[in-house]
Amino acid sequence: MYNDSVVPVKTESFSGVAAKSPIGQCIKSALRRACVEKRLTIGLMPALQFLSKNSNGALFCIQAEARPGDSATHMQEVLLQAFCMENDIYTVKVDSEDKLKKLLGCSKTSLDFTCVLIHYPFLDPYSDCPEIDFSVLSESEKDLIDHCETNWGYSQVPVIKLPEK
């Protein structure tokens, strides 16, 4: 039984991009709320810098699917995904860097949107013992956690098709 919001994942092969679905709307909502609350790190290098100082500060790592033939970005993606899994950070792969830019209102910028971190809603994200208050997570964030838990441990993360607007 497969949820229609994601592509069924097999451990040996991957069949492509999921159809437009409610999980795409959850990602959109979670990104926009985190943006308003200033809980985002945008770009691969800023994300790596944040994670190197605070590996327990990110709730989600949203990765845009690498363009075909871009092996360097693909390797970075795989390494970041492994790091996230090792540090219990939920990884979500989406179909388009351009859609991520548009969802965050940055469609004409040259910023790197291959990776966007959504931070936990901590009082102090750089504290050694941050207090996580799960009650302040939005319903979209909770739904996204459920989606990630369902797909945890697969060798490839399903690609979610983001809504156009």
99 part of a folded domain: yes
One digit per residue, the tens of pLDDT, for the chain of length 165 reads: 333 334 333 322 233 444 334 899 999 999 999 999 999 999 988 999 999 998 888 999 999 987 788 888 778 888 898 899 899 899 999 999 889 988 888 866 778 888 999 998 865 555 555 556 667 788 889 889 888 888 777 767 788 999 876
Range of the domain at 149: 29-160
22 part of a folded domain: no
- Residue identified by tokens 């979670």 is 30
Residue type, 66: A
143 part of a folded domain: yes
23 part of a folded domain: no
DSSP string of 96-140?
-HHHHHHHTT-TT-----SEEEEE---S-TTSSSPPP-GGGS-HH
| Helix, strand, or coil (residue 143) | helix
- Stated pTM of the model: 0.77
Cα separation of 16 and 5, whole Å?
Answer: 13
98 part of a folded domain: yes
